[in-house]
Amino acid sequence: MPNQRTPLYHGRIVDLGLEMVTLPNGQQISLEIVRHPGGTVVAAIDDKQQICLLRQYRHATGGFIWEVPAGKLDPGEAPCTAAQRELKEEAGVLASHWHELGAIYSTPGFCDEVLHLYLAQQLTFTSCAPQPEEYLEVHWLPFAKALKWAHRGQIKDAKTLVILFRAAGVLGLF
């Protein structure tokens, strides 16, 4: 029997539906599933080994959190194009070297969002233009300090923790 979906909510960012699914063991269950267009995550590292971190207000978490530039894919947009757009919009940075760091599921228990990870290097600086709903501050920290913050729990954003780990591997730090 094919999965059946009952739409519950259609929003600007996500769609929520109730899906009747058949598990691999044949059991049928009802799941609340969020459908998301996916996004990109960028570790921008300059020639001094500093990484761009945003101190961004997130109402859902009750305040400010540290995270790297990231954002939603527009319809039909390639992930690398979205990464370039988000880095310029949020941090005012252009990069001439891009390294793909793979992809992750953000919350696979209830959401199909795929985040595409990129390392951006050989940076030039320009002006930023955050979206009206974004309230953020751009900071540049030594990459080693960002790793310490992650280890100490000062960075709580999961996508930022993953990309720090992946970028450290590419940079030969472990």
Q: So which residues are the catalytic ones?
A: 133
Burial string for 84-115 (b: 16+ CB within 10 Å, else e) reads bbbbbbbbbbebeebeebeebebeeeebbbbb
Burial of 134 (0-12, 13-18, 19+ CB in 10 A): middle
DSSP character at residue 111: B
Q: How would you classify the pairing of strands 28-35 and 15-22?
A: antiparallel
User: Looking at this protein, which amino acid is placed at residue 78?
Assistant: A
**What are φ and ψ of residue 101, in 5° steps?**
-110, 15
Is residue 116 within 8 A of residue 40, CB to CB? The reply is yes
